Amino acid sequence: MNISWSITRKHHQWLVRDYLLHVRAFSNRLLKEVKKEGAILINGESVTVRKEIVTGDVLTVQFPAEKRSDAVEPKYMPLQIVYEDDYLLIINKRRGLAVSPNMNDLKESTLANGVLHYFDTQSINATYHVVTRLDRFTSGLVIIAKNRYIHHLLQQSEIKRLYEAFVTGHLEQSCGTIDLPIARNLPSIIERKVSDKGKRAVTHYRVKRENAQGSQVEVELETGRTHQIRVHFAHIGHPLIGDDLYGGDHHQLTGQALHCEWVTFQHPIHKQTVHAYANKPNELKRLT
């Protein structure tokens, strides 16, 4: 992967090294790898990191080839690609599919296996860097970076995500905010709970409709703690339908009724706003 930047007057006579570290958020480790296995060019000519850049230069970085883990085998699976460019991929993940493999069970097919197979069939020199994770039974949008530099930039950026959740019962308020810290529910390594010893977690919600089965709620996360939506709604007495881990009724549905419907963020390279949308699966539409 190559990325180029046009140098403006603001960075006239900066060293390449300083520009990449302080303007383009390179880590020292990444810069060393680019020097060793990639290339740095100014106006098409190879240079060192000690070279000065001047206004009007085009600085290009050729990143080293991505290195994959042999443990994750590419496997075909149908993928619903919502957005793709040279730098990233957004997929509408189906319910029941894990985002990444469990190192104790590498035979299970996960989204990682499917994306690697897709990269191979499209001759894309990339590996799997998941930016936004979803639980196995949470459907919806997953952002995947094709390069770990892009992954780093996206992790530092603000990504707005809107979810639809189907919760048991009817909430007292049609909209509100749940601001309660979340921690691990020891000795479990999976389950979480509201705890004063936890990290701050903020969930905003708005009730869209109600029926005999429960409430359809639009949810926006201000923070991104593990199981945040599931834990917060369970704590206030309205666990997600199907979420047997946190007390939800699983007779209507297997796994939590939760879908990541929208993502919005500034693209890490061209800086334009990216909007992506994913329809709910039929299992959740039946709850409306």
Q: pTM to 2 decimals? A: 0.90
Coarse DSSP helix, strand, coil percentages of the chain, rounded to the nearest 5 percent: 20, 30, 50
Q: Which of 85, 105, 135, 244 is catalytic?
A: 135
Q: Does 160-260 carry CATH code 3.40.1190.20?
A: no
CA pair distance 273, 275, nearest whole angstrom = 7
CATH topology of domain 2-62: 3.10.290
Asked if 85 is an active-site residue, the reply is: no
Rounded average pLDDT per 10-residue block, the chain, 288 residues:
94 96 94 94 96 97 88 93 97 96 78 96 94 95 96 93 96 95 94 96 96 93 94 96 89 92 96 96 90
Residue 239: per-residue pLDDT: 96
pLDDT tens, position by position, 57-111: 999 999 998 888 888 899 999 999 999 999 999 999 999 999 998 776 667 899 9
Domain residue extents for the chain: 2-62, 65-156, 160-260
Whether the CB-CB separation of 91 and 145 falls below 8 Å is answered with no
Fold entry, domain 65-156: Pseudouridine synthase (3.30.2350)
Mind listing the pLDDT tens digit for each residue in 221-230?
999 899 999 9
Contact 143, 82 (CB under 8 A): no
Question: What is the C-alpha radius of gyration for the chain, rounded to an integer number of angstroms?
Answer: 22
